[in-house]
Structure 1
Amino acid sequence: MERFHRIFVIVLDSLGIGAMEDAALFGDEGADTLGHIAETVPELTLPNLAKLGIWNVHPSADGSAPEQPAGYYGVLKERSSGKDTMTGHWEMMGIYTTKPFKTFTETGFPDDLIKELEERTGHKIIGNKSASGTEILEELGEEEIATGHMIVYTSADSVLQICGNEETFGLEELYRCCEIARELTMKEEWKVGRVIARPYVGRKKGEFVRTSNRHDYAVKPSGPTVLDALKHAGYDVISIGKIKDIFAGEGITKAYKSQSSVHGMEQAAEVAERDFHGLCFVNLVDFDALWGHRRNPEGYAAELEHFDKKLGRLLDVLREDDLLMITADHGNDPTYKGTDHTREKVPLLVYSQSLEGSGSLGEQDTFAVIGATIAENFHVEMPEGTIGHSLISFIE
């Protein structure tokens, strides 16, 4: 029999808990997203996460970890080579990535790619550099509106991003151009993990606001994942937030788009109040996009407290035969240099009303323990070529 009828996996996008042993190879020695947030904002209060063991897995300065948390807690280390969203999420579901995706942070995109993108889309490209989304809109938004040119930019991640004003450029035109960019960047020398449509509204500097109509065009996973195995076996695989985009729709049976991380948690609670059989996989991106990349520890701390309140509601509606796993996909230390992700370990908090015990799961050598645990619970075979070992026997 299945131990759990439904499993919820919630990814607090970028909530690392300390540098990996190889962090220096990525330029991230000493990074610690949660630790440095707690140091910067000592009044940070997370009662529900504390109850589940967050301060047991990452001791806080005030020693507030409960002696007996409500569930199991552990540390996950990324085996794959990378520190990006796709690599982290794919590994959770069994994929071991050995070759990082290409980045164009220092140089912008090659002239040949820009020329072909201009010819195929019919728009002259402006920008073509690494920048924050808000900064490049302030710099170039008025020009785009006046001329019909297209803002293309990148970041420290493996992404090609295109801005489009919803009223003057148009959403459909923005999506069309992104689809062309995705096709072009499948070439090995230009291959990025994601092409992202970044729509916005407003007509002049100081008024530009990005909207929730963002759309990610990700490369498909390099092989079948636990999500595919679950779907093939007839289980529900419900995604909330950008999970569908991260997996290019592969292995998903139902998808909900979130307007914010708070909204994502509200959606998770709503799904928990309905009947389904299988997995609900949630990504909460605001931690990363709004606060980590913008190097704002105070904003990150406030977002964590908002999450913690919504977590309380979810805990109230979970059923006895539900399993909840809370984790992260990489770090993004808001006190660190630059604006890039940071190569960090991540937490794993495991909770169910039916658990009789609690305690430490220690350090696990891959994020893929999450997918392997899900697969064993639902008695599906891990796809060929995937990695990971189940924790079911440790939490029964």
Structure 2
Amino acid sequence: MINRVIWIVLDSVGMGEMYDADKYGDEGSNTLGHISKSLGGINIPNLVKLGLGDIDTMEGIEKCSEPLGSYGRFAEASVGKDTTTGHWEMAGIISRTPFPTYPNGFPAEVVDAFEKAVGRKIIGNKPASGTVILDELGEEHIKTGKLIVYTSGDSVFQIAANEAVVMPEELYDICRKARKILTGKHAVARVIARPFVGEKKGAFTRTPNRRDFSLEPPYDTVLDKIKKSGNNVMAVGKIEDIFEGKGVTEAVHTKDNMDGVDKTIDYMKTNKKGLIYTNLVDFDMKWGHRRDVKAYGKGLEDFDTRLPEIMNTMNDNDVLFITADHGCDPTAHGTDHTREYVPFIAYGKDIKSNVNLGTRKTFADIGQTVAEILGTEKVDNGESFLNRISD
């Protein structure tokens, strides 16, 4: 009997344009397929053995004659293509209204309220790449103490500050004040603290002290259902931030993908029942948005080399889910996320091998399946596929 789910989200690892990608300007996007094509293939034999290449319409990934896992691809029913929307939908919330975005920067009513609340002026206030805007405004920020505020194609209010000018804890407090201001029609999905170090243009580097301050989910997710049932919800990486701590019983933040794998394995070794929910953000933050195809491919290979360690640490009563929350095709124009189907793999002693789930209509099917596995109340959206993958 399964009593623990290890749920790993490979942030932004999409697998091809969704049926409505044209509405988002993402026609032709394919994160996995284009990375593989650009690099002449990627070496991920363990994911191949689990069935990644056997998912319908998967491009650039080798098929396996006898996959060890069950597999499929999932469409996003929510309006949007960002981290919060994707994770909330997985956990049972379908967002019918998009979060606000600011292609022309934030309006005066937001900026004035923010500057008054934090006692500092801002510079920037436009959509930008996080690394580019540091080179553009980092020196001015250090000289004046003004905060670098910027956004992207996502619903985010990002605040960058040099750790020698504004300590991370102070920056987090500034973000909390911004979060209180950004409500109503300006309720962005996330306020993000972006600490960096360095003294001059060309030498600025963002640190692992990033924190996300999300909206609280509007109603209970599968995380809440699990917590209320008396089981554990162990959050790794930015999961705690995405859900604003709601439904989480314990959490740990991470420095990078490999640290995320380490922390996941550490939780697995505690043998606590419930859910271990992990986000590996480097695919998105370091390589997808920066359009670094080579590093993205290497990151996939690095995760694949750690996969046997994860599988060997599993108990007989564990199930492993691997999926993604959206795409971020590093070969696409711009630097934003891409509206894509996401891959899904399930593996464990009680999981059937070589079961093709086809195309599912919503990420929420995953959360509904987790709820059934752990015997909690159902979530509000999605259909469980547990009967398809397990006896």
Global fold match (TM > 0.5): yes
Partner of residue 51, structure 2? 53
Give the Cα–Cα distance (whole angstroms) in 1 for the partners of residues 375 and 169 of structure 2: 42
Partner of residue 94, structure 2? 96
Aligned length: 390
The 5 A counterparts of 1:1-396 are 3-57=1-55, 64-104=62-102, 106-188=103-185, 190-383=186-379, 386-396=380-390
Q: Secondary structure of the residue that 1:78 maps to in structure 2? A: coil
C-alpha RMSD over aligned residues:
1.3
Q: Amino acid of the residue matched to residue 155 of structure 2?
A: S
TM-score by length of 2: 0.97
Answer whether contact 2:2 2:350 (CA < 8 A) is retained: no
Q: Amino acid of the residue matched to residue 15 of structure 2?
A: I
Q: Secondary structure of the residue that 2:111 maps to in structure 1? A: helix
Q: Secondary structure of the residue that 1:172 maps to in structure 2? A: helix
Offset, 1:59: 6.1
Q: Secondary structure of the residue that 2:366 maps to in structure 1? A: helix
Q: Amino acid of the residue matched to residue 198 of structure 2?
A: G
Give the Cα–Cα distance (whole angstroms) in 1 for the partners of residues 61 and 216 of structure 2: 43
Give the Cα–Cα distance (whole angstroms) in 2 for the partners of residues 293 and 89 of structure 1: 18
Answer whether contact 2:148 2:160 (CA < 8 A) is retained: yes
Offset from partner CA, 1:277-331 (integer Å, 9 cap, x none): 0000010111011111111111110110011111121011111211001000011
Answer whether contact 2:36 2:60 (CA < 8 A) is retained: no
Q: Amino acid of the residue matched to residue 386 of structure 2?
A: I
Identity rate of aligned residues, in percent?
Answer: 47
Q: Secondary structure of the residue that 2:166 maps to in structure 1? A: helix
Alpha-carbon distance change, 268 to 63 in structure 1, aligned in 2, over 3 angstroms: closer
Give the Cα–Cα distance (whole angstroms) in 1 for the partners of residues 184 and 118 of structure 2: 17
Give the Cα–Cα distance (whole angstroms) in 2 for the partners of residues 118 and 63 of structure 1: 49
Q: Secondary structure of the residue that 1:179 maps to in structure 2? A: helix
Offset, 1:52: 0.7
Give the Cα–Cα distance (whole angstroms) in 1 for the partners of residues 327 and 175 of structure 2: 27
Alpha-carbon distance change, 254 to 344 in structure 1, aligned in 2, over 3 angstroms: same
Q: Which moved more, 1:305-314 or 1:354-363?
A: 354-363
Answer whether contact 1:266 1:310 (CA < 8 A) is retained: no
Which runs of 5 or more residues in structure 1 are unaligned?
Answer: none
Q: Secondary structure of the residue that 1:169 maps to in structure 2? A: coil
Answer whether contact 2:227 2:249 (CA < 8 A) is retained: yes
Give the Cα–Cα distance (whole angstroms) in 2 for the partners of residues 324 and 133 of structure 1: 33
Give the Cα–Cα distance (whole angstroms) in 2 for the partners of residues 309 and 268 of structure 1: 15
Offset from partner CA, 1:91-147 (integer Å, 9 cap, x none): 11110110010111x201112211121112111111111111111111111111111
Offset, 1:62: 6.8
Q: Amino acid of the residue matched to residue 67 of structure 1?
A: S
Alpha-carbon distance change, 8 to 206 in structure 1, aligned in 2, over 3 angstroms: same
Q: Amino acid of the residue matched to residue 265 of structure 1?
A: V
Answer whether contact 1:17 1:58 (CA < 8 A) is retained: no
Answer whether contact 1:19 1:31 (CA < 8 A) is retained: yes
Answer whether contact 2:127 2:152 (CA < 8 A) is retained: yes
Answer whether contact 1:9 1:282 (CA < 8 A) is retained: yes
Offset, 1:354: 3.3
Answer whether contact 2:89 2:95 (CA < 8 A) is retained: yes
Q: Amino acid of the residue matched to residue 68 of structure 1?
A: E
Answer whether contact 1:236 1:277 (CA < 8 A) is retained: yes
Offset, 1:64: 2.6
Q: Amino acid of the residue matched to residue 393 of structure 1?
A: N
TM-score by length of 1: 0.96
Give the Cα–Cα distance (whole angstroms) in 2 for the partners of residues 67 and 82 of structure 1: 36
Alpha-carbon distance change, 23 to 43 in structure 1, aligned in 2, over 3 angstroms: closer
Offset from partner CA, 1:18-37 (integer Å, 9 cap, x none): 11111111111111111111
Give the Cα–Cα distance (whole angstroms) in 2 for the partners of residues 238 and 130 of structure 1: 34
Give the Cα–Cα distance (whole angstroms) in 2 for the partners of residues 376 and 359 of structure 1: 19
